[in-house]
Each structure stands twice: as C-alpha cells, then as structure tokens.
Amino acid sequence: MINELNILWMYPDILNLHGDRGNIMAFEKIGNMLDIKVNINKVESYNNEIDFENNDIMFFNVGEIKVMPTIIETLKKYSNELQKFIDDNKTIVLIGASGCIMAKKTIRKDSEFEGLGFLDMDLVERKSIYGDDILFKLNENNMEIVGCQIKMLDTILHSDISLATLEYGSGNNGYNEKTEGAKYKNIIYTNALGPVFIKNPWYTELLIKNALKNKGINIEKILTDNDFALEINSLNAIKNFINQKGEKDVS
C-alpha cells in the first residue's frame, strides 16, 4: 500500500508574496521521490471548512502583514481543532510574516494585533525593510539551510524556542542576533524565502519523514547527495557569494 501525506495549503491566493507556491511544489516533488503520494488540499477562502483531522501538515506561506488579522480571526473559530492538531505533534509551517498567526502579538508602526499565541514571541514592524541572503543551521541536527530574507518584521523570542543558529544574515531581532526562526512542538517558523523548501530539499525530506513518522509510518528510503546535486551546487555557489560580500551596512 502506498503511503500518503496530506498537506493543507492554507490560503494559496492570499498568502502569495514571494513565489512561495514553490514550497508546495517541493513537498510534492520530494514526496514523490520518496515514493509517497502527496495530497495537497487547498483552503482557498475564509469561508472554506478546514479539515484538521485528515491532514498531516498545515502550510502558511508568506503574505502581506495586513491579511494576518483576518486569518487569525478565522482560525480562532477552530481553536479546539487547532490545539489538538498541535498536541498531536502534527506539523505547521509558517514563512515570514505568517509568523504573526502563531505569535503572541504583532506590533505595527501605527497599530498592533494579537496572534494565536502558540509561539512565545512578538513580531515588531521594522523602520526599514531589510533584504539579504540568509544561511543558518537547524538547532535539532545542524542541517544547513540557505535562502533569502525580506524582513519587514523583527522577531522577539520570549523563551528559548529558536529554530536555528544563524551563520549569515539578519537574525530574528537584527543583524547582531544569531537566532533564526522559532519552533514549538512541530510548529516551525522561518524567515527563509527562496522558496526555502525548493532550495533545501534535505529539509523538505526531513519534514515529510517526520510528519509520516508522527502517524506511525517510517520511510526507509534515503535521498542522497546525487538526488540533490543541483541544490548542493546552488548552496555552494551562494555560500561563495556570501563569503565575498564582507561586512555590509546592515541593521
């Protein structure tokens, strides 16, 4: 019997900012390489019902900050189901500004709004936008991840929940901080764009396997460097580019 992975692609048209639909394509492709059938279920509108029970991953790509309060209000209607989804160690991925959804609070220049509060952090709108490459290692296994970042928000972690340790770029709360993203249970929040799961298929593989393991399916197949040759070449090319940059006027 073929193994199946069910992904909720949350608000594809609304959370559509930096080509991040590619992240969903990556889960489908890497899943197929692992001989897994990946079912992607779109939640297109706030009026759509969300099937928490039959899905393994909820995926929130990056969107404009202005849409976040509407998404938060919508998800509040599902607070029990969402709590169970998280308690069941199912995976939630949040990219960039979508971190507002699970944060405690987001402070904008002229207003603020509360998030669902599952991640012990606040997001604060920056005075200026910061765009750069980003390179970091996951705290859980030292896996190296490369991407870009377009930061409109700084992340203030209130407890030790960082996802990764920064090697290059702007950290959660600016250039001098070396933490990146956040993780609580299997809620994963990162600032990395790229799309990050296209550029780092090793991370995609890890999340797919973890999500399946969570429902009692162990995937034996291991994808090799040969499978990821293009992405490894890309990683090395961008690391070379980063090494040539030197210190820049960053904040």
Partner 1 sequence: MKKIRFLFALFIGKIICFLVNIINKEKGTNIAGVFACKLQKDFISHFTGIDYNKVFFITGTNGKSTTNNMIVHTLRNSGKKVTSNLEGANLLTGVATALIKDSSLFGKLNSDFFVFETDERYFSIIYKYLPAKNICITNLQKDQVQRNGEPDYIYQKIKSVINKDMTLYLNNEEPRVKSLSKYAGKSIFYGVSKNDKSFVKNDFYDVSLPCPICNDKIIFDYYNVDNIGNFKCSNCEFKSNETIDFLATDINYDKATFKCLDYTYSINNTEPFFIYNYVLCIAICKTFGISENEIQEAFKNFKNISGRLETLHYKNKVIKYIRIKQENPETLQSALDYISCDKIPKIFVLGLEELKDFAPYYTNTFYAFDCNLDKLISSNVQRYICFSEAVAYDSANRLIYAGIDKNNISILPTDDDTAIMQELDKYDINNVYLITWLKKYYELDKYIKNHKEDKKND
- Binding footprint of partner 1 on the chain (CB under 8 A): 11-14, 16-22, 24-25, 29, 40, 44-47, 63-67, 70, 97, 129, 131-133, 148, 150, 152, 193-195, 198-199, 230-231, 233-234, 237-238, 240-241, 245, 248-250
Cβ 71 to partner 1 shortest distance, Å: 8
Nearer to partner 1, 5 or 86 (CB): 5
Cβ 78 to partner 1 shortest distance, Å: 17
In this structure, the chain runs to a length of 251
Cβ 213 to partner 1 shortest distance, Å: 26
Cβ 18 to partner 1 shortest distance, Å: 5
Nearer to partner 1, 46 or 184 (CB): 46
In three-state secondary structure terms, 141 is coil
The β-bridge relationship of strands 91-95 and 144-157 is unpaired
Measured in Å, how far apart are the chain's first and last C-alpha atoms? 52
Nearer to partner 1, 152 or 206 (CB): 152
Residue 195 to residue 233: CA distance in whole angstroms:
16
Cβ 138 to partner 1 shortest distance, Å: 20
Cβ–Cβ < 8 Å for 152, 65? yes
Beta-bridge partner residues of 138: 164
Nearer to partner 1, 86 or 93 (CB): 93
Cβ 133 to partner 1 shortest distance, Å: 5
Structure tokens at 188: 């994963």
Q: How many CB atoms lie within 10 A of CB 224?
A: 8
Q: Which of 64, 16, 72 is nearest to 46 (CA)?
A: 72
Nearer to partner 1, 189 or 228 (CB): 228
Q: Give ∠ CA 218-31-191 in degrees, rounded to 5.
A: 105
Nearer to partner 1, 115 or 194 (CB): 194
Burial (CB < 10 A; 0-12, 13-18, 19+), residue 139, is middle
